[in-house]
Amino acid sequence: MSEQIIERPVPADGPTAKAPEPDGKPERVASLWRDGWRDLRKRPMFLISGFVILCLLVLAIAPGLFTARSPFSDGFCDLQHSMDGPTSGHLFGYDVQGCDIYTRTVWGTRNSIIVGVVSTILTTALGGVIGMLAGLWGGWADSVISRVSEIFYALPILIGGLLIMSMVGSSNVWTVSFVLSILGWPQVYRIMRGEVIGNKYNDYVAAARALGASPMRIAFRHILPNTLAPIVVVSTMNLGVYIAAEASLSYLGIGVQSPAISWGLMISDAQDRWLTSPHALLFPAGALSLTVLAFIMLGDVVRDAFDPKLR
């Protein structure tokens, strides 16, 4: 009986009642991003970490702008200066081979950033696509994929890295990124799959399906936009994690190999001489920590801004 359908004059929520949002979904998603971005810009942590990351990117792309010397040129290292402390012109001092630490630290940025960015892109793409498919397909395909992901998930990154890196043989930034992605995708996969399954049964998806939207259209227009926020958050946080992982692998001697420059490798070379010449460890370790810190901070603020559950 239609008269029983009650339209009460009581909308709105809480003390700061806003106009109720129209139920259309794209607007809702768009406003999430817009709100998130507006929120981000106001946070000092975002500005600080953003600035540091911008500097790091410039360092990675054009190290030559910051140092006249090239670490790969002849006569760059001079054993006579081995472990000499900072002097003017060589602000960070020399390492055990007598190489200028400042130049090597600057040039080392590139490898760290490459590993961080490439691994993040690969894990996000791999985990995202597989998670999307598993979530959409469901059933036995989902079960199989999920079990496979658990297998990779169960393998600690250092142990898996140790195994795969020794199998691959040649170690450089690309193989390291590849290994980290192989081991890292299940994390993104889990989130993506969860989000897709969570959104799959939403009313607006049901509505779109009832209106005859194709599965592709449903996936891309209706489900994907809603899953992006948590994926972006986790990927941002992973940037720092992968940079640290590269340094760890290099430190263990199974990551980037000399003569390529890696902060992890530099730290490994300098570690025994901390008490006599702390500078050799301090500067690459500082650069590494600062980089990881910047990405972790960015991940933090991005999460606070885009994860409405934590607001």
Partner 1 sequence: MGRFVVRRVLQAIPVLIGVTFLIYCLVFLLPGDPIRALMGEKQDPHLALVLRARYHLDDPLVVQYWHYISGVFQGDLGTTYTGRSISDIVAQRFPVTLKLALTAFAFEAVIGILAGILSALKRGKFADNVVFVATLFLISIPVFVLGNVLQLELGVKWKLTPVAGIEDGWPTSYVLPGLVLAAMSMAYIARLTRTSMIESVRSDYVRTAIAKGLPRRRVIGIHALRNSLIPVVTFLGMDLGSLMGGAIITERVFNLPGIGGQLAQSVSLREGPVVVGLVTLLILIYLVANLVVDVLYAVLDPRIRYE
Partner 2 sequence: MTIIEDAVPATRHTDDERTPLLEVRDLHVEFHTREGVAKAVNGVNYTVRAGETLAVLGESGSGKSVTAQAIMGILDMPPARIPKGEILFRGQDMLKMSGEERRKLRGARIAMIFQDALSSLNPVLTVGYQLGEMFRVHLGMSRKEAKAKAIELMDRVKIPAAAARVNDYPHQFSGGMRQRIMIAMALALEPDLIIADEPTTALDVTVQAQVMDLLAELQREFNMGLILITHDLGVVADVADKIAVMYAGRIVEQAPVHELYKRPAHPYTRGLLDSIPRLDQKGQELYAIKGLPPNLLRIPTGCAFNPRCPKAQDICREQVPDLMPVTERDGGELPGRASACHFWKETIHG
Q: Which residues bind partner 1 (CB under 8 A)?
A: 147-148, 150-152, 154-159, 162-164, 166-167, 169, 240, 244, 247-248, 251-252, 264, 267-268, 271, 274-275, 281, 285, 288-290, 292-293, 296-297, 310
CA–CA gap between residue 113 and residue 232 (Å, rounded) = 18
Token pair, residue 13, equals 């929520």
Site map 16..55 versus partner 2, x via CB under 8 A: xxxx------------------------------------
Q: How far is the CB of 305 from partner 2 (least distance, A)?
A: 14
CA–CA gap between residue 273 and residue 11 (Å, rounded) = 68
CA–CA gap between residue 6 and residue 251 (Å, rounded) = 68
Q: Is 13 in the site for partner 2 (CB under 8 A)?
A: yes
Q: Which does 27 bind (CB under 5 to 8 A by kind): partner 1, partner 2, none?
A: none
Q: Which does 156 bind (CB under 5 to 8 A by kind): partner 2, partner 1, none?
A: partner 1
Q: Is 310 in the site for partner 2 (CB under 8 A)?
A: no
> Which CA distances in Å does 308 have to 36, 41, 202, 222, 226?
9, 16, 18, 19, 12
Q: Which does 136 bind (CB under 5 to 8 A by kind): partner 2, partner 1, none?
A: none
Q: What is the DSSP string of 246-300?
A: HHHHHHTTSSS-TTS--HHHHHHHHGGGTTT-THHHHHHHHHHHHHHHHHHHHHH
Of 42 and 147, which CB lies nearer to partner 2 in the complex structure?
Answer: 42
Of 2 and 80, which CB lies nearer to partner 2 in the complex structure?
Answer: 2
Phi/psi zone of residue 71: left (φ > 0), alpha (ψ -120 to 50 degrees), beta?
alpha
